[in-house]
């Protein structure tokens, strides 16, 4: 999925002639491309850390995941959500002859996950083998989120650089900033969300039947015994 370019490079006399040939640039293009600052696209990531909650029983965690079907229990849960925001601006030059303007977009996109909350069922005493095993499993989810954040940052940065290429954008006078805003909102925000969503497949790889079987049999069967004892209540 690649964002489409919604801001068209000039059309019409004065602003559009010779865009495909550098030697035929108009005086307005020369002024735009050679005198105003180049496009800057900056992405920054921020990790907000994580906290551990050991107050809820595993049945409450199971309800949170919607998997209370008698076949599986959620003993631990890692909760977060993608957050991203964009700010934009840039210097603008206008050409009265053609009725066009150019803008050197400065786009800053901030990416991060909301503070991660890791739940461990309160049936498992902090420091016990079962608790530590479940916590280690959930920390694998945490790492997958952080790895995805790094991947998303690279993908979006590369896409931004390809899109803007350090060149100004042209539009009818008075419309460049609104056109840039429209492109960011309608194309780049969905693009970024889709990239974050790709991380779900890595999360799913952690929660496999084989992994659940391993958890049940660790600590000399401690986890399995606690769950079975609670089921009988």
pLDDT digits (tens, 9 = 90+) for 170-193: 999 999 999 999 999 999 999 999
**What local confidence, expressed as pLDDT, does residue 9 receive?**
30
- Mean local confidence (pLDDT), 81-93: 91
Is 99 in a helix, a strand, or coil? Answer: coil
β-strand partners of 172: 100
pLDDT of residue 157 exceeding 80, the answer is yes
Give the residue-averaged pLDDT of 18-35. 75
43 — pLDDT class (breaks 50, 70, 90): confident
> Is the pLDDT score of 20 beyond 80?
no
User: Cβ-count burial of 201 within 10 angstroms (0-12 exposed, 13-18 middle, 19+ buried)?
Assistant: exposed
Q: For 37-46, 94-103, 149-158, which range has the lowest pLDDT when averaged over its residues?
A: 37-46
Q: What's the mean pLDDT in 26-51? A: 84
pTM, rounded to two decimals: 0.81
Q: Indicate the helix (H) or strand (E) that contains 86.
A: strand 82-89
Q: How far apart are CA 26 and CA 116, in angstroms?
A: 53
- Supply the pLDDT for residue 174: 94
Measured distance CA(55)–CA(65) in Å, rounded:
16
Q: Rounded to 5 degrees, what are φ and ψ at 9?
A: -75, 125
* Spatial distance between the Cα atoms of 105 and 131, rounded to a whole number of angstroms: 51
Rounded CA-CA distance 43/155 in Å is: 11
What phi and psi values does residue 78 have, to the nearest 5 degrees?
-115, 125
Let me know: does 91 contact 37? Beta carbons within 8 Å. Answer: yes
Better-scored residue on pLDDT, 176 or 39: 176
CA 19 to chain centroid, in Å, comes to 34
110 — pLDDT class (breaks 50, 70, 90): very high
Q: According to the model, what pLDDT value does residue 65 have?
A: 83
Least confident of 37-51, 54-68, 97-111, 158-172: 37-51
Split at pLDDT 50, 70, 90, the class of 17 is: very low
Average pLDDT, the chain: 85
Full strand arrangement of the beta sheet holding 116-120: 50-53, 116-120, 76-79
pLDDT at 126 over 60: yes
């Amino acid at each position: 999925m690649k964002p489409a370019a919604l801001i068209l490079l000039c059309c019409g006399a004065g602003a559009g002639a010779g865009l495909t040939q550098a030697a035929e640039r108009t005086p307005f293009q020369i002024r735009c491309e050679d005198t105003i600052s180049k496009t800057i696209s900056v992405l920054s990531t921020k990790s907000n850390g994580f906290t551990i909650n050991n107050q809820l029983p595993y049945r409450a965690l199971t309800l949170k995941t919607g998997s209370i079907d008698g076949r599986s229990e959620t003993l631990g849960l890692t909760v977060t959500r993608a957050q991203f925001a964009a700010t934009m601006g840039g210097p603008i030059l206008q050409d009265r002859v053609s009725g066009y303007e150019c803008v050197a977009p400065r786009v800053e996109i901030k990416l991060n996950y909301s503070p991660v909350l890791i739940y461990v069922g309160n049936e498992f005493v902090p420091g016990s083998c079962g608790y530590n095993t479940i916590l280690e499993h959930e920390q694998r989810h945490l790492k997958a989120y952080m790895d995805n954040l790094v991947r998303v940052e690279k993908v979006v940065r590369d896409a931004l650089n390809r899109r803007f290429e350090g060149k100004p954008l042209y539009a009818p006078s008075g419309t460049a900033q609104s056109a840039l805003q429209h492109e960011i909102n309608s194309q780049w925000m969905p693009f970024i969300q889709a990239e974050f969503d790709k991380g779900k497949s890595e999360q799913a790889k952690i929660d496999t039947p084989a992994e659940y079987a391993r958890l049940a049999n660790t600590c000399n069967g401690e986890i399995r015994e606690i769950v079975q004892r609670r089921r009988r209540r």
